[in-house]
Chain A
Amino acid sequence: MGISRRQFFRTIAGTLFSLSVISFLPERLLAGWNAGAFKAGKLEDAVRELYGTLTVEDSPAIELTVPEVAEDGAFVPVSVSSGMPGITSISIFSETNFSPLVASFDILPRMRPNLSLRIRMAETGKVVVIAKAGDRLYRVSKLVVVSVGGCG
């Protein structure tokens, strides 16, 4: 025997309800927010969630300015700029944070790839910036010594 008529409708109703919740809720609450990338616990996973499996190469064409020593990890000034043409996205990571992805910027057609942001750093570690231009990812990273962690 197959499933009963009642069971059949219950299953359908349950599935439809779940689907509607899954598709409706996150989009309404956080339109466009990349939860997978922001919740990733490892930097590589966050990069993959954001950019897929594009290869990453280190590039001196991305300029990253951070302090060598940050007294307070709660406020670490980060500046990124580049003269590279065709950049469509720039993301800032703190390698040692519980969730490394800090912020991701769409470099819209009228935007210049020149940004500053204050970030939290849990402890001494690298600030990593990834820029996407065309189908390539360019990376620059710098070590910041954090005296007092900023994620407590």
Chain B
Amino acid sequence: MTAIPEIPEVPAIPAHETARPARAARFGGPLTLGLEVALLLGALAWGAWQARAEVRARALPPLRTEPYAVAPLYDDPAVVSGAELARTIPRLALRDAGKLTVIGNVEHALREWGPDARLPEPYLSGSDLRRLLTDNWRFLGTYGPGRPSLLYDAPLEDGASLWGGHGGRGVRVRALEGVATSPHIDHTLASLAEAGTSLDFPLVTPGRRTTLRAVLEQSLRTFNLNQAEYEWSALAYALYLPPVRSWTTSEGQEMTFDRLAGRIVREELPRGVCSGNHRLHALVVFLRIDDRMAADGMPRILSPAVRRGIVAYLRRVTASLVAHQHPEGFWNGDWPTATPSSREATDREGDHRSDRLIVTGHVLEWWSLAPREVLPPRRVIAAAGHWLVRTIDGMSADEIQTDFSFLSHAGRALAQWRRRSPVEVLQLEPPAQ
């Protein structure tokens, strides 16, 4: 028998040895190859077009230039009388503290008073509050050149490039880095939205002039459903997006108000800033905007099941608040599980006077906007209103400035329970100097 023959590696065939005969070349000459190459290039172009189409599908939807306003629904003198309001509200304005001015307080003051409030010295007026947040020159005027700016330009994470690059420049708001930065993610944006600021409002960053739209677009792109702070993002989106119901983040995740609502109710209470009350506030705004859409004949932003879920959730929350209200009318940080144990505030975490102010003021604020179906008995609201008035009455002007951010919610809540804004109350009684 014979051994298996060794098969040597087939050498590369020189080009001239493999050239086609002339007749065969007619069917496979340069023309055919050119057509094949053209076909291949066409396929590549088609692929690139598909990629662009995919990117276009992820483009941000049209945004509302003017934000929706969520007006208070109730006028109940049992919660706060006209005299109490006139006495209390004017004290709840923000003093200009120069370089020590806290940006968080500025944002709270803006949402409390609005941009049209004219307040006497040393209080910051509404227009000045808004300029401090939107104009880097005004910011420099207060804080000097040594501070990092509140607004800064950043690549717009729009996922617009096939290669994952950046498609332009956006604007970010510096947050969680101290006094001259915003205290929460998207808190500046939400405050400006609640103050009725147009997306065309001019914005001056250290590098350029743009509009508030750049901040919102950047926020929409970079938003992550699981980020630690999401309450103000959700609030701002509810005020600027509808009737649009969804958009796509730079990660490609489709975001909807249903999903946002699911995220908000996911965590147990009282987790979240201000003992979870900003989550509840955002849910109430969702319900109100959803109602507004229906009233305007536009598609709702919430699915029926999610809307029912939100209402049921808020009812449970209200039931818990009713069950755990102190006879004096306040709550503390343990509100989902326990009634405050003493009339006087203690040093225990969650039971300081400021904690009681935080929870009671915030609860009264979102109840003032909430549909009647999630409200507690009237006496519960009235007791809370009376406690707030008494407590504010007992605070000195300096104490009010120290706890300003919490008290701004209380002031807004009290005014809203008379279906007014603080600036409308101010027209009756200007703040004492």
A and B: real partners?
no
Which B positions have Cβ atoms within 8 angstroms of A?
none
Which A positions have Cβ atoms within 8 angstroms of B?
none
